[in-house]
Amino acid sequence: MSIIVTAENPSIDPAIQRQVFGALPTGVTAITGLTEDGTPRGFVVGTFQSLSLEPPLVTFCVDKSSSTWPTLRSLGRFTANILSTEQLPVCRALSRKGDEKFAGVDYEQSPLGTPRISGATAWVDCEVLSEVVAGDHYMIVGSIEELVPGEGEALLFRGGKFGEFNQWPAPAPAAAAPAAPAAAGKDQ
Ligand SMILES: Cc1cc2nc3c(=O)[nH]c(=O)nc-3n(C[C@H](O)[C@H](O)[C@H](O)COP(=O)(O)O)c2cc1C
């Protein structure tokens, strides 16, 4: 595990940092694992991203206060379930604290032995490769073991609200320029 240490910067107000980054839309991904006694565990992140193609790596950040991450870390593997616009209830369930998060949440076991939540837009099964301690979070790097596209549109989160991507309409074709009036007396 590496540690990033920097001096605190009191000129940066955490409330403004939250406001600025809260305005940046993110996807919504459930990070899940299965304990040795078969209990599913998981939590929701907005920080899941592709990190490298060669080799295939992903990353996400988890708060040091997470009660689930220490378990998934010790298992050494997880599935990143990229949630769909149909899965707001799953998001709400897994972003709560406690042991009852998976009540009513269907999943199948991946070949890696991790829960793939039914109805996700994609499942990314990963081994934990490394972890960096960065301030009040851990930055996790995972190596992709299997990548399975699902169905549906990704759920988005911005400014404390959930939504979906709406493409801008294609620009209307430019109106034809009016014909220039013939110069008086020309060709007469
Ligand atoms: C849309 C959304 C995005 C979130 N993103 C993160 C994140 O990137 N990292 C994190 O640690 N918590 C994030 N959370 C909060 C966790 O899901 C929440 O604290 C959860 O209860 C942690 O559960 P645990 O303590 O069982 O690990 C997010 C929650 C929501 C609803």
Check whether 71 has a pLDDT greater than 90. yes
Whether the CB of 139 sits within 6 Å of ligand 1:
no
**Beta bridge pairs of residue 4:** 134
Spatial distance between the Cα atoms of 109 and 79, rounded to a whole number of angstroms: 10
55 C-alpha to ligand 1 centroid (Å): 27
25 C-alpha to ligand 1 centroid (Å): 15
94 C-alpha to ligand 1 centroid (Å): 8
Tens of pLDDT along 122-175? 999 999 999 999 999 999 999 999 999 999 999 999 999 999 999 999 888 887
- Domain spanning 28-48+68-125+146-158: CATH 2.30.110.10: yes
The sign of the torsion formed by the CA atoms of 33, 160, 87, 93 equals positive
Query: Tokens at residue 167, please?
Result: 């493409």
Whether the CB of 71 sits within 6 Å of ligand 1:
no
179 C-alpha to ligand 1 centroid (Å): 61
Which atom in ligand 1 lies closest to the alpha carbon of residue 157? 1
Tens of pLDDT along 10-33? 999 999 999 999 999 999 999 999
Whether the CB of 28 sits within 6 Å of ligand 1:
yes
The string over 169-185, giving b where at least 16 C-beta atoms fall within 10 Å of a residue's C-beta and e elsewhere, is eeeeeeeeeeeeeeeee
